[in-house]
Structures are given as structure tokens and as C-alpha cells.
Amino acid sequence: MPETPTEPGGLGRVLVVADPLPSFVTYKDSTFAMMRELARRGVRLAACEPAHLHWRRGEPVTARVREVVLTGAADDWFRVSQQGREPLHAFDAVLMRKDPPFDAEYFYATHLLQQAEREGALVFNRPAALRDHPEKLALMEFADWAPPTLVTRSAEAIRAFHAEHGDIILKPLDGMGGRGVFRVGPDGLNLGAVVETLTQHGHTTIMAQRFLPAIAMGDKRVLVIGGEPVPYCLARIPQGGEVRGNLAAGGRGVAQALSEADWTIARALGPRLAARGLLLVGLDIIGEHLTEVNVTSPTCFQEITQQTGYDVAARFVDALQAAVAGTATQKAM
């Protein structure tokens, strides 16, 4: 593919590392919203999957990429203009937007992307920061904001936690979209079966948290871009007797202005996370408690924009341009 010259710090070409493009549900996909805003600004787009990353001794990290053009259609929303293998450092920015699970292949992809960084690529979010902030376990660093939480594979420890708190949530550490999340109430019904299933009979570590009744008002996704909170969040409200507010689990998304507690948590964490190379973070807040720190592929851009008029994708691309420009300025000094 021919390269497009760009001004120092500019965005001429961006590579998106993500799940297969045909799998995107474009009316709600945040990665699509990013791509659409980049295209609107005249940025050339290319895409690949983590499986397409490649390194060989004596060569830079490359990927088999497809340059794509957005069509504006709802279904056939992109067409491939050309394809081939390219070094990642040939792009002005690389967006790592692969959805969880944070499994071994995801881990390997972050190492390939980190090598590309050494060769000059600018990757967002930074690969080392992705590894250092697994989405459930990152909560441990910010325990002052968290509800009572336990991370263990011990059935005995989980039973004691349940006895102490009476009503708890159990969830796997590598899931997304509410998959594998269970609530066990004061009667302890099915606690043993749930623990055996999630821990695979003591072989897999899981998380337990005290149930927060404020979930009835929504599991709030608070987006932090470039260290600064977006002023609106999406409260994902459980429906039909569900305990999970996740949109993928049937939750209803209601955009709303940040509460005082939301602002306090987001402003406390935002600058610290941004300084580590996390351009985009999604904080999950129930009531006044932080429950997760999402860094792999935070979502809810389109829902917030559609309901409030606040253009989250434009805010993100502004921050991306500023980050790329800032890096170019540092290199020039």
C-alpha cells in the first residue's frame, strides 16, 4: 500500500486491530464510531485481527492488513480497497480494540504490539498498560473505591465471604458483557454449584463482590478519555428480573450526567491511568462504588451520543490526535 505523507503529529493513516469487521454491530459499536469519525476527518483506515500480527528476527512487526473505505451503508458498511503486509510503524497510530477475553492469545498480541512500539509504532492503549490492568483485577489498586471484594479460587474462602455479606455476586476474571455472572442471596442456594463451575473445582481464580442494591439504578459506564471524564455516562439498568445490567445481557442503557460520586472517582483515577498510556478507560460504577476498570475495548460511545448529543467519538479522536502530536513533539526535542 502506498504511504500518505502526513504532517508531524498528524493522522494520515490509522490501523485498527480488532475482531473481524463483519462481526461489528455498527449501530452500537464504539470501534465503528471511532473509525467513522476518523474517516470523516480524512484519515485512511486499515484493519487487521491479532491473528494477523507477525514478527521475524531481523524484521519489524508486520500485519496482514486490509485498507478499508466506509460505505455509509448499514449492512455492507465497508469495502476493501487494497490489502497486503505492512510494518505497524508505517501507520500514524495503531488502535488496539480487540474485545476480551484476556486470554493467552491476547497476552501474546500485547507483546507483539510492544515490540512494534520499540520500532516506532504508536499504540493506543499502550500494550504494557493493557497487560498491567486486567479489567477485573485492576480494581485491587483502587480498593478505596470498591465494594467488599474477594479474589480467590478457594471455595472455603468464598463460603466465608458469603456468610459475612449474605448477598454476593460471583464472576469470572476474563469475561465481558456479563457472561458467567451469578448472584447468590442470603439463602446460599446453589452457592456450591456456582463456585465449582466458575472455579473449575478450584483450578480457576474468580472474583466475589458484595451485592450492591444500587444496581437497580444502573451499572454506570463512565468513560475517561485522555485522563478527563466524559460528562455523561451510560447507566445500564437490569431488566426482567436480571441481576446484570450489561447491554449484552439485555440491560437498558440510559445516558445521564455524571453524579458527584462519578466525577470524584473518575477525576481521581483518570490522570493516573492516562499517565500509564491508557488513552481510553471505561469505569464501571454502581452507586458510589467502583466495580471494574475496563481498558481493552471500552464501549457505549454511540448510546451516549445518541441520547445526549455529546459526540464521544469526536472527543476520542481529538485526544488521539493530541497524543500523537505530543509524541511527535517529544521526539523532535
Confidence of residue 300 (pLDDT cuts 50, 70, 90): very high
For the segment 179-187, the average pLDDT, to the nearest whole number, is: 92
Give yes or no for residue 247 having a pLDDT over 80. Answer: no
Work out the angle at residue 98's Cα, subtended by the Cα atoms of residues 97 and 104, and round it to the nearest 5 degrees: 140
Joined grid coordinates for residue 72: 455509509
For the segment 152-178, the average pLDDT, to the nearest whole number, is: 93
In tens, the pLDDT along 255-284 reads 999 999 999 999 999 999 999 999 999 999
Q: Give every CB contact of residue 114 below 8 A, 6+ residues apart in sequence.
A: 123, 127, 128
Which is more confidently placed, 297 or 330? 297
Work out the angle at residue 264's Cα, subtended by the Cα atoms of residues 260 and 267, and round it to the nearest 5 degrees: 130
Catalytic residue set: 136, 171, 221, 236, 244, 284, 292, 294
Cross-strand bridge partners of residue 45: 14, 68
Joined grid coordinates for residue 172: 469470572
- Whether the Cβ atoms of residue 136 and residue 173 lie closer than 8 Å to each other: yes
Query: Distance of CA 75 to CAs 25, 83, 181, 258, 283, Å?
Result: 9, 21, 32, 34, 31
Give the model's pLDDT for residue 9.
56
In tens, the pLDDT along 199-244 reads 999 999 999 999 999 999 999 999 999 999 999 999 999 887 677 6
Tell me which H or E stretch contains 285: strand 280-286
Give the model's pLDDT for residue 160.
98
The pTM (predicted TM-score) of the whole model is: 0.92
Confidence of residue 180 (pLDDT cuts 50, 70, 90): confident
Q: What percent of the chain is predicted at pLDDT more than 70? A: 93
Give the model's pLDDT for residue 2.
42
Q: Give every CB contact of residue 239 below 8 A, 6+ residues apart in sequence.
A: 250, 251, 252
Give the model's pLDDT for residue 244.
65
Q: Which domains does the chain have, with CATH numbers?
A: 13-128 (3.40.50.20), 148-211 (3.30.1490.20), 214-311 (3.30.470.20)
Confidence of residue 102 (pLDDT cuts 50, 70, 90): confident
Q: How many CA atoms lie within 13 A of 199 on its CB side?
A: 22
Distance CA 169, CA 182 (A): 6
Mean pLDDT of the chain: 93
Give the Cβ contact number of residue 281 at 10 Å. Answer: 26
Confidence of residue 327 (pLDDT cuts 50, 70, 90): confident
Confidence of residue 249 (pLDDT cuts 50, 70, 90): low
